[in-house]
């Protein structure tokens, strides 16, 4: 039975079920009655810090109706009629500061064309292929201590200790460049943490706690060499995102009315109408 205590892992014990994969999950919920005690049916599930792994079953739904399965240390094994893409989209829309558009702009400014991650600086959800393409499997890098490539584009991730449980989550049909994608994603999450921390400390006077965890996101060895991040500004990136959004609106307006000259006119009107940050 699922327990309410946050200090208890509500997943099957790792001594009995150390390894999980899409295939093993499908097999176990069909054949092993013990697993049924850990299943939760929740269409409104929200991705959170306790999310560990997400498997997609879009093409062949579990029991004919569940399109995704989520391993969550607090909730258990969550079966949902929503796709993994739907769950991560909801997370991005509800929780991300300025949404995915900010993440893409920030990635561009630090030179990462593809990083396969949705991150906050302390949470990092990684997709096994580019998340713009389709419904995919996801893994929470902040819950993982290590990973290992296997044959035939398979990868296995090892979790940190979760209430004295350690699991292996296997993924198939991964990108052949997944090792590089993981490194880039860990760096992206780290850079985002630095960006937010610098803004809070230098501009808002906050004191940001330094973390020394055991997951992949806390290991400096996982961050590839890079230029200094000190000159990056949270506000300047936000302004860039806002400007691009308004200019994109102008382009769409010009296309809709088939008046190309509206693009430049809208740009001039937008910049002229921007109120300066001033007390005067």
Residues 154-187 pLDDT 10s? 999 999 999 999 999 999 989 888 999 999 999 9
List, in order, residues 6 or more apart from 76 with CB less than 8 Å away: 2, 10, 11, 38, 39, 40
Q: Can you tell me the distance from the alpha carbon of 65 to that of 225, in angstroms, rounded to the nearest whole number?
A: 45
Are 118 and 239 found together in one domain?
no
252 occurs within a structural domain: yes
Write down which residue in 136, 157, 190 finishes a domain.
Answer: 190
10 occurs within a structural domain: no
Residue 251 belongs to what domain range? 234-273
210 occurs within a structural domain: no
Check: CB of residue 35 under 8 Å from CB of residue 28.
yes
216 occurs within a structural domain: no
Are 127 and 240 found together in one domain?
no
Q: Is 211 helix (H, G, I), strand (E, B) or coil?
A: coil
Q: What pLDDT was estimated at residue 231?
A: 79
50 occurs within a structural domain: yes
pTM: 0.89
DSSP string, 140-173: EGGGEEEEEE-STT-EEEEEPPBTTB--EEEE-S
Write down which residue in 130, 157, 190 finishes a domain.
Answer: 190
Provide the terminal-to-terminal Cα distance of the chain, rounded to the nearest Å: 62
Q: Can you tell me the distance from the alpha carbon of 138 to that of 84, in angstroms, rounded to the nearest whole number?
A: 8
200 occurs within a structural domain: no
Residue 190 φ/ψ, nearest 5 degrees: -65, -45
120 occurs within a structural domain: yes
Q: Report CA torsion sign: 76, 82, 83, 84.
A: negative
Q: Report CA torsion sign: 93, 94, 95, 98.
A: positive
pLDDT, one tens digit for every residue, the chain (280 residues)? 445 444 568 999 999 999 999 999 999 999 999 999 999 999 999 999 999 999 999 999 999 999 999 999 999 999 999 999 999 999 999 999 888 999 999 999 888 876 789 999 999 999 998 766 666 899 999 999 999 999 888 999 999 999 999 999 999 989 888 999 999 999 999 999 999 998 999 889 998 888 888 999 999 888 876 667 777 889 889 988 988 888 888 889 889 889 888 888 888 888 888 777 766 7
Q: What pLDDT was estimated at residue 6?
A: 47
Q: What pLDDT was estimated at residue 32?
A: 96
How many domains, the chain? 2
């Amino acid at each position: 039975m699922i327990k309410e205590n946050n200090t208890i892992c509500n997943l099957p014990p790792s001594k009995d079920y150390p390894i999980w994969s899409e295939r093993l999950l499908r097999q176990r919920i069909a054949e092993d009655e013990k697993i049924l005690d850990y299943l939760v049916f929740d269409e409104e599930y929200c991705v959170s810090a306790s999310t560990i792994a997400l498997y997609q079953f879009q093409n062949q739904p579990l029991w004919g109706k569940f399109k995704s399965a989520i391993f969550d240390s607090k909730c258990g094994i969550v079966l949902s009629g929503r796709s993994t893409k739907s769950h991560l989209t909801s997370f991005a829309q509800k929780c991300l500061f300025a949404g995915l558009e900010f993440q893409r702009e920030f990635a561009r400014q630090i030179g990462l064309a593809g990083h396969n991650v949705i991150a906050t600086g302390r949470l990092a959800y990684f997709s096994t292929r580019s998340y713009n393409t389709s419904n995919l499997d996801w893994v929470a890098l902040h819950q993982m201590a290590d990973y290992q490539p296997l044959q035939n584009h398979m990868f296995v991730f090892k979790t940190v200790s979760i209430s004295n449980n350690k699991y292996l989550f296997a993924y198939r049909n991964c990108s052949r460049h997944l090792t590089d994608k993981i490194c880039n994603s860990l760096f992206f999450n780290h850079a985002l943490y630095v960006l937010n921390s610098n803004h809070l400390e230098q501009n808002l006077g906050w004191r940001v706690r330094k973390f020394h965890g055991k997951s992949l996101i806390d290991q400096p060895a996982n961050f590839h060499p890079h230029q200094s991040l000190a000159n990056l500004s949270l506000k300047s990136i936000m302004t860039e995102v806002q400007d691009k959004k308004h200019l994109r609106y102008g382009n769409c307006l010009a296309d809709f009315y088939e008046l190309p000259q509206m693009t430049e006119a809208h740009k001039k009107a937008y910049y002229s109408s921007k109120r300066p940050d001033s007390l005067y």
